[in-house]
Structure formats: C-alpha cells, structure tokens
Structure 1
Amino acid sequence: MSLPLRGTRVLVSGAGVAGPAVAWWLARYGAEVTVVEVAPALRTSGFAVDFRGPTHLGVLAAMGVLDELRAVQTHAGAMSRVDEHGRELFRLPAEFAGGELEVRRRDLSRILYERGADRVEYLFGDRIVALTEAADGVHVDLARAGSRTVDLVVGADGMHSGVRRLVLGPESAYVTHLGYHLAGWDLPNDRGFDVVPRQYNVPGRMASVSADQRDPDRAGALVVFASPRQDHDRLDLDRQKALITDAFAGLGWHVPHLLAGLRAVPELYFDAIARVRVPRWHTDRSVLLGDAAWGVTLGGMGVGTGVVGAYALAGELALAGGDPRVALPAYERRMRGYASRWQRGANPGHFLAPASGWGLWLRDRLLATRPVQAMMVRGTGALATDAGLPDYLARV
C-alpha cells in the first residue's frame, strides 16, 4: 500500500487503548510515531471493556487483532443483581452486559501495544511537560527524554489529559464530576465466586464481585458510590482505601469480605465518574482522541469509540497527505456526532447506584422486565454503529 504519511513525525501521549491504536494506524501509513506514557509500564488495572456492532468489530478486524481478542475474551455473560442474602433478583442478558466481545482492558492494551511495537517507539515513565506550536511543527519538552520537534501531537491520555491542559487550559473547564466514584481491586477467590458478576445495591452504593476468567483462584471487586468531588492529586492509596471503607462500612452481603481484601492490595483502580466536554478537539497541530475528548467514566462504549476514533484520525491524516489543517477538522466532523450519541446525558453512577430508595426500586423493576432488556440491547447496538464510516484503507 502507499505510505502517504512517510516522513510525518507524530508524538502520541497515552499508551492505554486509543494511543496504541492510533499509533499503529499512523505507522501503517508511514508516519514516524512515538508514544509517551507516564506509567513505568503498561497498566494492569482497570475493568472489562466491550465492543459491539459492525463498526467496532470492523475496525478491530481491519487492524488484524479481532481473532486475538476473541481468544482472550471474558465470556462473562450475564450480570446478576442480588439481595443481601445472595438471592438473585434479576439477571441482565449477556448481550447488554458484555456486548459482542468483552475483554479485560489490560489484555486489549497489551495486544494493541504488541501489534505496533516493532514500528512504534514507546517511552514509558515519561510525559509531556510543555509544548509550543509553530507553523512548521510542535516543539515538545518531555520530563525525561529531552526536547523534540514533531509535526503533530495527539492527546490520547484519558479524562485527566495532560495534553488537553497544556493546549486548551485547566481540567476544571472540561471535566464535570457526576457525583460518584468507583474503584476496583483483585483479591483471593476463597468464597467460590463464579464468573458471573454478582451486584449488590443499597441507595447510592453498589458492590460487585466475580471470579477471574483465567485464574479461578482470584476474584475482582468493583464498587461505585455517591461522593463529592475529591482532589485527586492528594488521594494517595491509603486515602483512597479509607474513602471506600467509610462509604461501605456496615453493609451486609460479601461487602465486609471485599473490604478486608482491599486492605492488603498494593494497587487499586480509583477514579471519579465524570464527563468530558470539549468545544473543540484540535488546534493547528494538536488533537485530542478518546476519553481526553469525549470520555464518560464507565460510559459503556468509550473504548470502542476510542478505537474507531483512532482509525478515523489516522485515516483523515492519510487522505490529507499529513496536512493537519485539512485532516483535523475532517476528523472532528466525522467523530463528534458519533461520540456524542452515547455520551450525551450519560451518568453511569445513577444507573449503577441510584441515590434514593425509590430510584433503586424503579430501576430494578424496569431492568427485571424482558421488553426493557431487549430495548437496551437494541439501543446500545444502534449507538455503536456508524454506517457512514469511510473505508480509509480503500480510499488511501
């Protein structure tokens, strides 16, 4: 195939999902790509993520990773809502809870990284500390690896994006706290949990646990709880654990056991449930991708949309011969409507842990009915599908 981006230098911030995906596509079109990641290695925390519909799966197939992802899919199936005695109240169908393909985020990140590692430079344990755009490029200062000039900077560094802050201003202008926090951790599976997530609720709080698909001796806990906005820069591991313990103190079911496991963990996924809204995703030579541009924590289709966005950004750059003045507006026009379908008005905290007893009762009554479940499955599949997405490989 032709290499329309040969000689184009791109610096991508973030080695989660969207970053390695766009890096692979850009390198495929001939670009010289470096990915910088603040973590010292690929992250191993996070939850299962899912893909659904022909758009998500079509992009994964075009990357050549679909079969590899299917080999590590979770097969988690349905999600079970239980009472404090462990009795099942209702069960959500597998198609809603896990889409057509569900994998652990860490497996997805690893596979995308490995797909492009032979042609993409990765700098772990580093970050962008300053950038200046000029007519002929972007001068970038890295915390450890010095300075360099590139043609384009891609901020694929999540909801707390450093690139967005450097280019567009403080996080407070773009990220809205939605009144909840979530956390996840691993623990020994010494109570025989199976792979179906069991979810226990009281108003404003949800706790869930399930066995690890590939290691039945391990289990994963997930909690969601109503909480005011916290200063994340001051939340070290001990403070995060204290917030969770305080929020769930006194609850029944397996909650005391999950909290006991929490005390021993050396690593914890912890974040606010928030929504990102950015009026414009690009400047002349910098562009946002994935959660940095359109994220909602636990938003359901954020990862799939990020992978599609990576495909579209690289494709538009290839069609434009690497000219960001043409490609970046075209990418934003292509992706903004698609990303906003599922992001608009979404608050996963309200869905997972309704704040009032009335809200929890109503949610359970609705979700327990088959017509509502069928409608939700159809709706999520439609939201994930973009019939007008170009075949960039054919056009290039």
Structure 2
Amino acid sequence: MENRTVLISGAGVAGPALAYWLNHHGFRVTVLERAPQLREGGYKIDIRGAALTVAERMGILDEVRRHATDLRGSTIVDAEGKEVATMSADFFGMREGEDVEIMRGDLTRILYERTRNDVEYLFDDSIKDLRQDEGGVEVAFERAAPRRFDLVVGADGLHSAVRALAFGPEARFRRDLGCQVAIGTVPNHLNLDRWELTYPMAGKVAIVYRTRRIAEARAMFLYLSGTLDEAFAGAGWEVPRLLDDVRKSRDFYVDTVSQIHCENWANGRVVLLGDAAYAPSLASGQGTSLALVGAYVLAGELNAIDHRQAFAAYQAQMREFVALNQKLAPSQLKGMIQRGRAQLWFQLRMLRLMPKLPGKDKIVARVLEPIRRAANGIALKDY
C-alpha cells in the first residue's frame, strides 16, 4: 500500500491525535519527541465545538471530562489582595455548554495512553535533516540511525524544527502579538481549591490557579514589554513570591504570544499540523481544538486519496476554520491585558457591575458568539 509509513515529529496534542487516526486507518506510525519523556506540564486548555465531536469519535471524551479542571470560580484582586470582582470559572474562561477545560498535561497523557501500544514512540531525539525524493523522505536523527518514511508530519509546535527544515526560517511565518508569557508550576501557598486568582495591572497581569487533580498551583504572567523581571518590578500582591517560585519551577516556560501563518502547509511529502502550521496563540484559546480537528481531517484525507491530493484537501477544509480561530486572538488579548490605567479601571468596574446589569445574559451571549462561531466553523466529514 502506498504512503503508509509516517513519521510524526512532536508528542504534544496534535502528534498523538494524528497517530491515533492514522493507526485507525491502517498506517504504520512513528512519533518522535525531543523531550526524554512525555511533557506533562503546561497550562489549562479548552476543547470546544468541532473538537468535542472529534474527541467523541476518538472515544476519549468521557475520559477528558473526568480529567476536567473543575475550577469553581475566579477572583480578581488588587495590589493588597482584596477582592475586586468574582465570577464563575466558565464565564472567566468564556466557556459554555459542553465546552471542557483540561490541563494540557492530562490531555497529552490521555492521547499517549490511547496510542502507545499501537504506535512507535521515540523519545529524547529530534530530526537533524530531511531529504525528499519521489519515493519518500530520508530522515537523519540527532541520535538514532537514519530511516526512510513515506511521509513526514511536523506537529512540533510554534518553533517547529520540521517547518524550519522543509519550509524555511521561523521568522517568515511567525507573527508576534505584542505580548509575552511566562508560566510554571509553583507551591500552592495560597491554599487554592479549584480556584483562580487574577491580579491585573496596566500592561500586564499575574494569574495563579489550582485545579482539582494537582496538589501544586500554576502561575502565569502575561506582559506587553520588557523582560519578566522588568515588567513586574515593584508589583504588589503575591507577585514577588510567585516570580521567585516560578523561576525555580521544573517546567518554567517563557515565550512570545505568537501566531503562525503559512501560505502552504505541505511541501512535497512533508506536511505541517497544529501549531507548526497555524498556531492561533494562547490568546485565542483554540490551539488545542485546531490540533484535534486538524489531525482528524489530515488522517481521513490521507486514507482516502493520494498524499498530494490529501494535503490539498486537508488545507482546503481547514483554511477558513483556522482563519476564524486566529482572528479571535487580538480581541481576546485586549480583554486579558489593559494597556492603560483608564482602560483597566473601566474593565474592572464593568466586571464588578456585571452581575447587577439588566440584560447581562444578552451581553454575555454577544461576547461568546465569536468564539462559538469559530469553534464550530467547520463541517466535519465522516471518514
């Protein structure tokens, strides 16, 4: 059978999800991960709309729901730690109905466990070089001996090595949204129980939360300019301790909040998936959903037709869905970080008054409509 051996680079969400579907369709799959073991860190992520349908078709939706964060609420505090406003976790995360919030590490573990017995996993290695010809792709690894595959998939995230090798430098495709993020696991010294605390400041915000399944907490910092230390110098509340703790974290992560815009997601026998192809950024809240849906579509098309046609069909089906979800990010980011003190004051006042406003349900519905439309912006085929 033609084009049935596939190498997937990346064992996050997109890679194992694709591995599941390719194995389901009878492909022989190898998943490569540069980390020495499965990455179980990261922040909370959302699964919405069409991605819920994909999870259900995979048979993992019930397990995903069992691992939901179960956050009960969110409180905004001031520099002294006093409550400014409190709201439900779903409202703060802009979720509704069947939407699910889960820790990224829990989802990657669910996907890994679902595929580990049927798919070859290679940890602690990465791709050094790719050489294509009419019949396949010769892959040189950093550690393992070279191997040949029919197809190679780059599902290796925002800073994709596969994309750099087969498509060109990252700078050609990355669009920074003018914000940076730092995140890591920290001690739960605030004794949070399925709760989130947010301390907004002009040009930056500090967030800490603890879900039901972890003893420790996660701290996240979003800031518009400077280094992490510069941005939060002199900040009040618990920021100094959280900064100190997060730097010591085993999974400390700092990066730009960015999107990836590629005109073409395939080059010969190499194709990109998830953040490597169309990262919408954490500000959109839709990266996981795009990864799950993209994996389903790509595998289904590869099983039905020649890889050249399959790659074109995958891109044709996903392009508008991706565009809708990427468009969410700038407006979402404006809601997450207020640039000036006047904007911050207005936002906090509105949040404080929201429960008392007449017609608040209609206001919430208007806020959620773009997310709902984007999350359901694709008609899934039945492969």
On whether the aligned pair clears a TM of 0.5, the verdict is yes
CA contact (8 A) 1:76 1:98 kept: no
Distance 1:250 1:26 in 2: 51
Deviations 1:25-59 (A, max 9, x none): 00111101011111111112210111122x12111
SS of 2:262's equivalent in the other structure is coil
CA contact (8 A) 1:6 1:31 kept: no
Q: 1:6 to 1:262 in 2, by over 3 A?
A: same
CA contact (8 A) 1:26 1:314 kept: yes
Deviations 1:291-314 (A, max 9, x none): 111113212011011100000000
Give the alignment of 1:205-244 within 5 angstroms. 205-216=204-215, 218-227=216-225, 243-244=227-228
Residue identity in the other structure for 1:126: D
When normalised by structure 1's length, the TM-score is: 0.88
Distance 2:187 2:378 in 1: 44
Q: Within the alignment, does 1:40 sit opposite 2:54 as a pair? A: no
Q: Which runs of 5+ in 2 are unaligned?
A: 355-359
SS of 1:330's equivalent in the other structure is helix
Structure 2 partner of 1:169: 168
CA contact (8 A) 2:158 2:260 kept: yes
Distance 1:108 1:288 in 2: 21
Residue identity in the other structure for 2:312: P
Pairing partner for 1:23 from 19, 23, 33: 19
Structure 2 partner of 1:359: 343
Displacement after TM superposition at 1:353 (Å): 1.7
Structure 2 partner of 1:112: 111
- Once the two structures are overlaid, the 10-residue window that deviates more, 165-174 or 290-299, is 290-299
Aligned residues: 370
CA contact (8 A) 1:34 1:123 kept: yes
Displacement after TM superposition at 1:284 (Å): 2.0
Q: Within the alignment, does 1:331 sit opposite 2:314 as a pair? A: yes
Q: Which runs of 5+ in 1 are unaligned?
A: 229-242
Pairing partner for 1:69 from 64, 68, 89: 64
Displacement after TM superposition at 1:362 (Å): 4.1
Q: Within the alignment, does 1:84 sit opposite 2:79 as a pair? A: yes
CA contact (8 A) 2:183 2:246 kept: no
Give the alignment of 1:366-377 within 5 angstroms. 369=354, 370=360, 371-377=362-368
Distance 2:171 2:367 in 1: 32
The 4+ residue runs of structure 1 with deviation greater than 4 A are 365-368
Q: 1:363 to 1:343 in 2, by over 3 A?
A: farther
Structure 2 partner of 1:233: none
Deviations 1:66-95 (A, max 9, x none): 111111111114433222233333345433
Structure 2 partner of 1:284: 268
When normalised by structure 2's length, the TM-score is: 0.91
Distance 2:94 2:241 in 1: 26
Distance 2:8 2:141 in 1: 12
Pairing partner for 2:232 from 223, 248, 252: 248
CA contact (8 A) 1:7 1:30 kept: no
SS of 2:162's equivalent in the other structure is helix
Structure 2 partner of 1:240: none
Pairing partner for 2:300 from 295, 311, 315: 315
Distance 1:48 1:6 in 2: 39
Distance 1:198 1:191 in 2: 10
SS of 1:76's equivalent in the other structure is coil
CA contact (8 A) 1:49 1:98 kept: no
CA contact (8 A) 2:35 2:125 kept: yes
Distance 2:194 2:214 in 1: 10
Displacement after TM superposition at 1:345 (Å): 6.2
